[in-house]
Structure 1
Amino acid sequence: MTRLKTALGGLALCLITASAAAHVPFLKPNQFNVLNPRVQVESAFTEFPFQADFAMDSPNFSITAPDGTQAAIKASAKTRGAVYLEPTLARDGTYRISTGVRPGPTYKAVETADGKLYFSDDIARKQGAATSLKYFSSADTYLAKGEPAYTQRPSNAGVEIVPLSSPNRLMLGGELRLRVLRDGKPVPNARMVVVADNEHYVAHRDGDLYDVENVRDSNLRADAAGEIAFRPSQAGLYLLFVTLHEKIDPTLWESHNASLTLEVGLPETKSAHP
């Protein structure tokens, strides 16, 4: 079962129990540092990054150019497993690819007297006041063509994970600082789930990524300014994921979810040959 609990500054506390694993959104480019024009970005939901489980379409796909201009992106292909984007990078610099805030389903739920929220199949076995849970998701990734010349460009809408320096030059042994925002404001003590690509082939995992009570050694916490220092433990792809839950009124809770996909490179080494 999945338990979700908010422990974030300014948001109401919530415990949600579900009968099945929830999925997290991601965008995965075939190139983070672009070397050829055949750029493709995969958009999907997963429980085991980065294996696409079902497609994540969005009416708000966008690309933000190095000069800050934003344009919509149309999907070039859609399957049941994933949606594919083929953005055009006209000039050198850093590009932000985003799904935008994507409204999801609303689940029927009951809130028990001890503050727990149950939905899906668990409703039949729990007594409580009728309520509901509305799901929102977003995913971002960054592409660099030539020199990144990175500038922070938050959208100030929904939950965002904003790199404070270029995310396209992160190397093993290095550090990337990030800030978690909600509608443009820092989120103190935000919990960030850090998932390495294919880590489920290394060790079995208890619980799912959407479970914000799930304890993982790789989890990170933001400071009072909403900032987090990410120091990768290996090279490869990473999914960073944040969930915030908020009680709107007695009849409605909201779940806001955001992810950022990064690539961590190996530092250059001097050749042993002259």
Structure 2
Amino acid sequence: MSQLKSKKLSLCLTLLLCGAAAQAHSPYLKPNTFNAEEQRKHVTVEASFAEGDLRPDVAMKSEAFHLIGPDGKKLPLAAAAQLKDASYLEVPLAAGNGTYLISSGVRKGRLAKAVLRQGKVQFIERKDDVQAGDTPIEVQSISRADVYVSRGRPSAVDYDTEGVEIYPVSKPYDLYAGEPVTVRVRENRKPLAGETLTLITDGQHYAKQKQAEVDFKTNAAGEVSFTPKDAGLYLLQVRVRRASPDNPALWLSTTATLTLEVLPQP
């Protein structure tokens, strides 16, 4: 990796740790098709970090790329191409018809210096940023990006997964503009209430009337519902930040995303 790209990736990871969704690069997976015909044996998936629109900026690397097929079996994936701005996966749809979960898996990023100030995490760059009463901590960046792709006739998508994720309660292959979409933020399949979910609308670079990012709070069931106005691609993002259960001086900042395709009304 070039020095410039290394610095760029470091900046992305810092933003993921420090910034709000509107200010940070987001990890995403974008397939060339979300609903493949039965005769199609693979899809190509772009894996990258982007700010706003899903246009690749910094390549995503992961040793945990995988898919879970409609048969429930997990298959490791390796990037078919690793470019500076994006990685590309050729994902086999060998389990036959049904819906597949494609995931970056859990990716550990950098450790950042921070303090707890009045119960909130504050990142620091210099020693003189520390104030009286601050508790020094370190924050570990963790990220995960998911997308669902169907081949032929779709199938149920409640797979056995671990970690923080955005799970589509609404069928991800049957979403239409003007109709409500429900998702659930969960960790190890248990709902997470009170977390902030951000909705990012793709294609704003060319839109005359731009749609701002929208934040929602998950309810007691960990769920959020929203109604997309237009057809297109949407990225959902959540950031869960808390102290490590084994080490109160280490905090975990987990960012999870889900890419959805919303279709026009037939």
Q: Which TM-score band applies after superposition, normalised by the shorter structure?
A: 0.7 to 0.9
The one of 46, 49, 54 equivalent to 2:50 is 46
Q: Which amino acid aligns with 1:175?
A: P
For residue 10 of structure 1, what is the aligned residue in structure 2? none
- The aligned residue for residue 215 of structure 2 is 219
Structure 1 residue 23, shift from structure 2 partner:
2.1
Equivalent residue for 1:143, pick from 142, 149, 154? 149
Structure 2 CA distance for aligned equivalents of residues 170 and 241 of structure 1:
18
- Does structure 2 retain, via aligned residues, the 8 Å contact 1:158–1:256? no
Give the aligned residue type for 2:186.
Answer: L
Task: Indicate the residue corresponding to 1:189 in structure 2.
Answer: 194
Q: After superposition, what is the alpha-carbon deviation per residue over 1:54-90, rounded to whole angstroms, capped at 9, x for unaligned? A: 1111111111111111111111000121111001112
Letter of the 1:84 counterpart: Y
Give TM-score scaled by structure 2 length. Answer: 0.82
Distance 1:234 1:139, change over 3 A: same
Give the distance between the partners of 2:213 and 2:48, measured in 1 at CA: 25
Report the Cα offset of residue 252 of structure 1: 1.5
8 Å contact from structure 2 (residues 198, 213) kept in 1: no
- Give the 3-state SS of the residue equivalent to 2:125 in structure 1: helix
CA-CA distance at 1:121 after TM superposition: 3.2
What SS class does the counterpart of residue 40 from structure 1 fall into? strand
Asked if structure 2 preserves the Cα contact closer than 8 Å seen for 1:25 and 1:44, the reply is yes
Over 3 Å counting, the alpha-carbon distance change for 1:179 and 1:116 in structure 2 is: closer
* Whole-angstrom CA distance in 2 between matches of 1:217 and 1:101: 25
Structure 1 residues 237, 217: CA separation in 2 closer, same or farther (over 3 Å shift)? closer
What is the match of residue 30 of structure 2? 28
Identity among equivalent positions (%) equals 39
Whether the aligned pair in 2 keeps the contact of 1:159 and 1:180 (CA below 8 Å) is yes
2:244 equivalent to 1:244: no
Change (3 A) 1:239 1:71: same
3-state SS of paired residue (2:91): coil
Question: Of Structure 1 and Structure 2, which has the larger fraction of its residues in helix?
Answer: 2
Matched, 1:258 2:256: yes
The answer for unaligned runs of 5 or more in structure 1 is: 1-14, 206-215, 269-274
Q: Tell me the amino acid that sits aligned with residue 26 of structure 1.
A: Y
1:129 aligns with 2:135: yes
2:3 alignment partner in structure 1: none
Q: Number of residue pairs matched?
A: 241
Q: What's 1:12 paired with?
A: none
Instruction: Deviation per CA, 1:84-139: give whole Å up to 9, x if none.
Output: 10011121110110011111111122333x33433253654342332211110001
The higher relative CO (CA closer than 8 Å, separation ≥ 6) is in 1
Q: Give 1:144 deviation, angstroms.
A: 0.8
Cα drift, residue 148 of structure 1: 0.7
* Mapped contact 1:39–1:86 kept (Cα < 8 A): yes
Q: Which amino acid in structure 2 is aligned with residue 255 of structure 1?
A: S
Structure 2 residue 60 is the aligned partner of structure 1 residue 64: no
Tell me by how many angstroms 1:229 deviates: 1.7
Deviations 1:25-75 (CA, angstroms, capped at 9, x unpaired)? 110111001144462101111222302121111111111111111111111
Tell me which of 180, 185, 203 is aligned to 2:185: 180
